[in-house]
A and B are shown apart, each in its own frame.
Chain A
Amino acid sequence: MDTSNRKILLVEDNPDDVALTLRALKKNSIANEVVIAKDGQEALDWLFGEGAYAGRDVTDMPAFVLLDLKLPKLDGMDVLRAIRAHPVTALLRVIMLTTSREEADIVTSYSLGATSYIRKPVDFDEFIRVVGQLGLYWLILNEPTPNR
C-alpha cells in the first residue's frame, strides 16, 4: 500500500489551528489528504465507520492522527483511550497536539500510548523532529513506504 496516499486525520475544533496546521503541512510539501474531525466523537465515528460515517471503508486507516488534547464532547484523552482499546486502531500512530507545557506533562503522565506530541501551533521544525522520531520521513518526503 502506498502510504503516500494514506490520509492524515486531524482532530481539531479550532478553525485557526486547522488553517495553520494545514498551511504548515502544505508549506512542507505534504500532499497527503487531511481528514478533519471537529470533535472527538466525529473522529471516532470516522475511524470506526459509524454515525455520519457509517459505511465508510474502515480499512482505510490514516497514516497517523494529529489529536488535539482539548476537544468538545470527547476530549483528546478519551479519544486516545478509545483508539487504543479497539483492536483495529490499537496500533495507530497518534500525535497529541498540546498548547502548554502543562498539557504536555499531562500527556506524558497519562502514558495512554500517545505516540508523541507536538506543541501548537504546529511549528514545522518541531513537526520534522517528531516525524523523524517516529520514522515517518517516508511520509512527508513522499517516499514509498515499506509494508509494516
Chain B
Amino acid sequence: MWCTVTRMSYPSLPSASPFRPADDTRDIYRLLCKQAGMIVYDHHLDTGHITWDGAISELLGYSPEEFQHVDIRQWEAWLHPDDRANTRRALDQTIANSQPWDVIYRLRHRNGSYVHIQERNGFVTGGGRRRMIGSLRDVSDSRLRAQALTGLLERVVGAPGRAFFEQLALELWRTLDAVRVYVGRLSDDNDEMLPLALCYRGTIEPLERYKVANSLSASVLHRGDGLLCCWGNPGEVLPPHVAEAFSTWGATAYVGCALITPTGYRVGVLSALFQQPPARREAVIAILQAFAARAAAEIERRETENALRASEARFRSLSESSPVGVYQFDVHGNCTYVNKRWCEITGISFKEALQKGWRERLPPDELRELLAAWEKFTSGRGEFSHKLRFEHPAGGARWIQFHARRLPGPGGTLAGYVGTIDDITVEMEAKNEIHQLNAHLEERVAERTAQLAAANAELEAFSYSVSHDLRSPLRAIDGFSRAIAEDYESVLDDTGRDYLRRIRDASQRMAMLIDDLLRLSRATRTQMHIDAIDLAQLAHQVVGELRQADRPDRVVEFVCPPTLPVRADRDLMRIVLDNLLGNAWKYTRRQSKPRVEISHTPDPEDPTSIVYTVSDNGAGFDMKYAGKLFAPFQRLHSASEFEGTGIGLATVRRIISRHGGRVWAESVPDQGTQIHFTLKPATSTS
C-alpha cells in the first residue's frame, strides 16, 4: 500500500492534496524520494502498521527490507535519549489533534552515531481510516538545518512572552546536540544579564540574573564581531572560574553570540556549551548567529511594543486626569477616543461621542462651521483652532475652544488627529464683561472729558474775570489814593499821607498777587509746544533784564554753560527762569559778592534726563521748611525782608511737572540755595 506524502515543500514534489497514484507513478515517486535523500512513511493509525520507503539505507544504514518491521516503538528506541521524551510527547499530541507537525530530532544510525532528522507529516482519512503520512530527511547539513531552524523559529515567534525564548533554547539545544543553551538580555543600564531562557540537558531551568562585569557574556559582548568560541581546553582560553563551571557542566566547548538588533544594538547573549567540540563548527556558528539575530529582533520588537504600550498607558492616564477634554480621530475622520473630561464638558457620552460626535448636539449653522473648520484643517496644514457656543444638556450656554494636531505615523504617514477641548465659558463671559466695562468706561471718560473741558472753559472765564474785574476796583483804590495824595497834599498831615501810602502799597501788592495767580493758572492750562530750546540763551535774556531792573551799582556774578539744549516749551521755561533767577537775584541782595550759577549733571534716577541746578549764595532757608517751598502762597521770608507772593516756585513746579520732570531744593541759611529740576535734553528724544 503506497500513498504519497503531503505538505512536501520540495520543488520536485507536487504540494497537492493526498491522492492515490497509479503503480508507475509510485515507482517514480520512490525514485525521486531516494534521489532527494528522503524516507517516506505511511502510518495506518488504526492498525499501527507503517510502510517505509525511500532512502532508508542512505539515511540510517538499514536495507529497506530490514526496515519493513520498524514500528513506533522501534523508532522511539532509536531516538537520542535527550530527545526521546519530548519528541514522543509531541508525536502523541500531533496524532491526537490531527495537527501536522514539523520537528527535528536525532535518530540513531545503524553504526551508532546520531543523525539530525527533520520530520514533517500530514493526515489523510480514506474509507473511514485515518493515516499519517510523512517524510524524514537528514538535516545534519548546516544549510539545510539553518533553513529548517528558520522555519522552526517562525513558529516559535508566535509563542507568548518567555515561551518564545524557552522554545528557542530548547530547539537549539536539541538541534546542536549541546549540553546547555542560554539566552539572556542586558538590563536597561547594561549592568546585569537578565535570563530569558536556560536549557540544560533538555530541561528549562531557572536562572538568577547576574552582573555582566567580568562574566563570559561580557567577553562575548566586547568582541568586535560579537562572537566568542572556545573549542576545547577551556582552562587555557577562559578565566579559571569560568573554566571550572565548564567542568561542572561536563562541557569542553563554548560558542557565544551577541544579540545584535537590526538597528545595531547589542542587547544580550546567546550561548551554547558542548560536551565535545562539534564536528561542523561553521554550521554551529551559523545557526547560533541566525538565532541570535532572530532573538535580538524579537527583544527589540517587544521593547518597542512595551514602550508603545507604556506610552499608550501614559497617554490614557494623563488624558483621563487631564483638566481639558481630549479626543482622537483616525485618518478617516472617525472619533476613536474621548476622555472623561471631554464627556463632562460636552455632556455627550463616550458611546455617543464615538458614534455621532457633535452631530445631534449643535444647531445646523454651528455644526456646519465646525465641520468646515475641521475640513480646512484636515485638508491643509497648520493647527486646528475653533471656538463655538452651544447649549449644554445640563442647561446653560457654554463656550468651547477646540484645538487639534496631526498624529504622525511611521515613515511620515498620518496616523490620525489628537485634540483638546476647553470650557472657556468663564473666560468668554469675563471677556464680554470687560468689553462692556470698556464701552462703559469710554462713555464715562468721554463724559468726564466733556465735564473737564467745561470746567476748563469756566476756569478760563474765571481767570479772565479775575484779571479784569478784580483789578478794576483795585485800580480805583490805587488811582484815587494817588489823586488824593497829589491833589490834596496840602490838607493832609503826615499820618494821613502815611495811610494813603499804605493803601497804595496794599493795592499794588494785591495787583501783584493777582498777576502771579494768573501766571500760575496759565502755567497749568496753556497748551505746551515742546521744542528743542537753549536754556542758556533764555537764562542770559532773563539775567539781562534782571540787571537792567537792578540798581546800576550792583554786580551779580552769573555763571552758565555756553549752551543747555533741552526739549521744553519756550514760554513756560521763560517763566521758570524768570522765577528761579529772579529769586536768586532777590535773595542775594544782601550778599557782598553775589553769585548765581546754572549747572547740570546727569540724572541718577533717569538716564534719559538731566538735572539742572540754579544756585545762589544768598539768604537761603532752613531745610525743615523745604516741603512748603513749592506750595502756593508759602513764603519762607517776610515781605519786609524780601518781597514776593509765594507763588513763583509753585508755578515752577507745575511747569516742570508738565514737562515730566521733578523739582527740589537744597539750602543752608545764609549760605545759599540750590533749586534742582530735571528735563529731557534736546538730544535724547526725537
- Contact partner of B518 (CB less than 8 A), chosen from A20, A27, A102, A120, is A102
> When chains A and B are docked, how far (Å) is the Cα of A20 from the Cα of B471?
14
Cβ contact within 8 Å between A17 and B472: yes
Which chain A residue shows the least CB distance to B465?
A70
Q: Chain B residues near A121 (CB, 8 Å)?
A: 475, 478-479
| CB neighbors of B among A46-101 (8 A) | 70, 99-101
Cβ contact within 8 Å between B468 and A16: no
> When chains A and B are docked, how far (Å) is the Cα of A14 from the Cα of B470?
13
Q: Chain B residues near A45 (CB, 8 Å)?
A: none
Q: How far is the CB of A21 from the nearest CB of chain B, in Å? A: 9
- Contact partner of B479 (CB less than 8 A), chosen from A16, A100, A101, is A16
Q: How many residues of A contact B (CB 8 A)?
A: 14
Which chain B residue shows the least CB distance to A24?
B479
Cβ contact within 8 Å between B483 and A20: yes
Q: Which interface residue of B463, B471, B475, B522 has the most chain A CB atoms within 10 A?
A: B475
Interface majority SS (helix, strand, loop, mixed), chain A? helix
B515 at the interface (CB under 8 A from A): yes
A23 at the interface (CB under 8 A from B): yes
Per-residue CB contact flags for chain B residues 460-483 toward chain A (1 = under 8 Å, else 0) read 000110011001110110111001
Cβ contact within 8 Å between A16 and B518: no
Interface majority SS (helix, strand, loop, mixed), chain B? helix
Cβ contact within 8 Å between A103 and B468: yes
> When chains A and B are docked, how far (Å) is the Cα of A16 from the Cα of B479?
9
| CB neighbors of A among B506-546 (8 A) | 514-515, 518, 522
> When chains A and B are docked, how far (Å) is the Cα of A40 from the Cα of B285?
130
Cβ contact within 8 Å between B476 and A20: yes
> When chains A and B are docked, how far (Å) is the Cα of A103 from the Cα of B478?
20
Q: How far is the CB of B521 from the nearest CB of chain A, in Å? A: 10
> When chains A and B are docked, how far (Å) is the Cα of A99 from the Cα of B511?
10
Q: Chain A residues near B518 (CB, 8 Å)?
A: 100, 102
Cβ contact within 8 Å between B471 and A16: no
- Contact partner of B515 (CB less than 8 A), chosen from A70, A100, A120, is A100
| CB neighbors of A among B492-511 (8 A) | none
Cβ contact within 8 Å between B476 and A16: yes
Q: How far is the CB of A103 from the nearest CB of chain B, in Å? A: 7
Q: How far is the CB of A68 from the nearest CB of chain B, in Å? A: 10
| CB neighbors of B among A97-115 (8 A) | 99-103
Cβ contact within 8 Å between B467 and A100: yes
Cβ contact within 8 Å between B515 and A16: no
Q: Chain B residues near A20 (CB, 8 Å)?
A: 475-476, 479-480, 483
> When chains A and B are docked, how far (Å) is the Cα of A123 from the Cα of B417?
95
Per-residue CB contact flags for chain B residues 434-473 toward chain A (1 = under 8 Å, else 0) read 0000000000000000000000000000011001100111
Per-residue CB contact flags for chain A residues 7-22 toward chain B (1 = under 8 Å, else 0) read 0000000101100100
Cβ contact within 8 Å between B480 and A16: yes
Q: Chain A residues near B464 (CB, 8 Å)?
A: 102
Q: How far is the CB of A77 from the nearest CB of chain B, in Å? A: 13
Which chain B residue shows the least CB distance to A15?
B476
Q: How far is the CB of A98 from the nearest CB of chain B, in Å? A: 9
Cβ contact within 8 Å between A16 and B467: no
Q: How far is the CB of B683 from the nearest CB of chain A, in Å? A: 32
Q: Chain B residues near A27 (CB, 8 Å)?
A: 486
Given A101-B515, A102-B518, A23 contacting B472 (CB threshold 8 A):
no
Cβ contact within 8 Å between B472 and A99: yes
Cβ contact within 8 Å between A102 and B475: no
> When chains A and B are docked, how far (Å) is the Cα of A120 from the Cα of B480?
13
Which chain B residue shows the least CB distance to A100?
B467
> When chains A and B are docked, how far (Å) is the Cα of A17 from the Cα of B471?
11
Q: Chain A residues near B486 (CB, 8 Å)?
A: 27
Q: Chain B residues near A70 (CB, 8 Å)?
A: 468
A interface, CB within 8 angstroms of B: 14, 16-17, 20, 23, 27, 70, 99-103, 120-121
B interface, CB within 8 angstroms of A: 463-464, 467-468, 471-473, 475-476, 478-480, 483, 486, 514-515, 518, 522
- Ordered by A's residue number, 30 sampled pairs between the chains whose C-beta atoms are within 8 Å are A14-B476, A16-B475, A16-B476, A16-B480, A17-B472, A17-B476, A17-B479, A20-B475, A20-B479, A20-B480, A27-B486, A70-B468, A99-B467, A99-B471, A99-B472, A100-B467, A100-B471, A100-B514, A100-B515, A100-B518, A101-B515, A102-B463, A102-B464, A102-B467, A102-B518, A103-B467, A103-B468, A120-B475, A121-B475, A121-B478
Task: State the 8 A-B residue pairs at the shortest beta-carbon distance, nearest first.
Answer: A16-B476, A20-B479, A100-B467, A121-B479, A121-B475, A99-B471, A99-B468, A70-B468
